[in-house]
Amino acid sequence: MAVWAVLVAAGRGERLGSNRPKAFAKLRDRPLLAESLERLEASDWIDSIVIVAPPGWEEPSILLAEELACTKVVACATGGETRAESVRAGVAEVGDDAAVIVVHDAARPVLPDEVLERVLTALNEGWDGAVPVLPLADTVKRVRDGRIVETLPREELAAAQTPQAFLASALREALGGDLAGATDCASLVETRGRVATVPGDRTLLKVTDLSDLELVASFL
Ligand code: C5P
């Protein structure tokens, strides 16, 4: 059973205020992408890796993989306009031998191997997909035009992280459908199949602005 990882790194990262894409912003002295790539390469749970690079950044991504001696990287796809389109481009490069596809955000550099273990164990238990989640600290409101229209029951809510793991067939089928509005892969699969939650990890924080970069650096 081959497990492929699709590492999506094609976001623009405008909120970082840099002239380079987020995946190439500096985390300590290396591009952000290096950290998650190295961790996927080192993980015994992962057999092959596809990187999804920002348009025009395919070559630097491949060079980085070579510098890090990443023997598991088999392809580098060009990202799309949205995250879901980038995932679709990456999954198109995944081999026919894949039983499971793990999709991970390069913007979450500190990837603990235990979380990979948790999502893959859930698939072995018969789920179609598995997502690491954290409980919410804040109360969540539905807001329209500045007015609160609903308060959602917090005990039913969770914040979804990556890595998200799916049976390859389930993810491929979901990506064949409408991708509009999908901000993660689970939202595409959960309407068709059974997606489990597993405990996430605070270190899997997604880097969106400069202060996140500093916080994530403190986790290294
Ligand atoms: O934009 P957001 O923070 O949701 O991005 C999550 C992940 O998806 C990041 O790793 C980013 O590089 C990736 N992404 C992508 N292609 C896009 C938008 C985001 O690969 N068009």
DSSP summary character for residue 24: G
- Enumerate the β-bridge partners of residue 143: 148
Rounded distance from Cα 116 to ligand 1 centre (Å): 19
Residue 1 pLDDT more than 90?
A: no
Smallest CA-to-CA distance from 180 within 100, 83, 96, 113 is with 83
Instruction: State the angle between helix axes of 168-175 and 83-91 in degrees (0 to 180), rounded to the nearest 10.
Output: 130
Residue 18 pLDDT more than 80?
A: no
The pLDDT, as a whole number, for residue 38 is 98
9 lines ligand 1 (CB under 6 A): yes
In ligand 1, the atom with minimum distance to the C-alpha of 206 is 3
pLDDT tens-digit series, residues 59-117: 999 999 999 999 999 999 999 999 999 999 999 999 999 999 999 999 999 999 999 99
* Helices and strands of the chain, counted as H and E runs: 7, 12
Smallest CA-to-CA distance from 113 within 39, 48, 47, 164 is with 39
- Enumerate the β-bridge partners of residue 78: 53
Indicate the average pLDDT of the chain.
96
Tokens of 101: 């596809």
Report, as an integer, the average pLDDT of 139-160: 97
Superfamily of domain 2-215: Spore Coat Polysaccharide Biosynthesis Protein SpsA; Chain A (3.90.550.10)
pLDDT tens-digit series, residues 175-206: 999 999 999 999 999 999 999 999 999 999 99
Report, as an integer, the average pLDDT of 123-152: 97
The pLDDT, as a whole number, for residue 110 is 98
The pLDDT, as a whole number, for residue 210 is 87
Would you list the domain boundaries of the chain?
2-215
Protein residue whose Cα sits closest to atom 20 of ligand 1: 10
Q: Tell me the C-alpha distance between 157 and 153, whole Å.
A: 7
Q: Higher model confidence: residue 135 or residue 15?
A: 135
Q: What is the pTM of this model?
A: 0.97
207 lines ligand 1 (CB under 6 A): no
Cβ atoms < 10 Å from Cβ of 185 = 30
86 lines ligand 1 (CB under 6 A): yes
Fill in the amino acid letter for 69.
Answer: A
DSSP summary character for residue 20: S
DSSP summary character for residue 192: T
pLDDT tens-digit series, residues 162-176: 999 999 999 999 999
38 lines ligand 1 (CB under 6 A): no
Report, as an integer, the average pLDDT of 123-129: 97
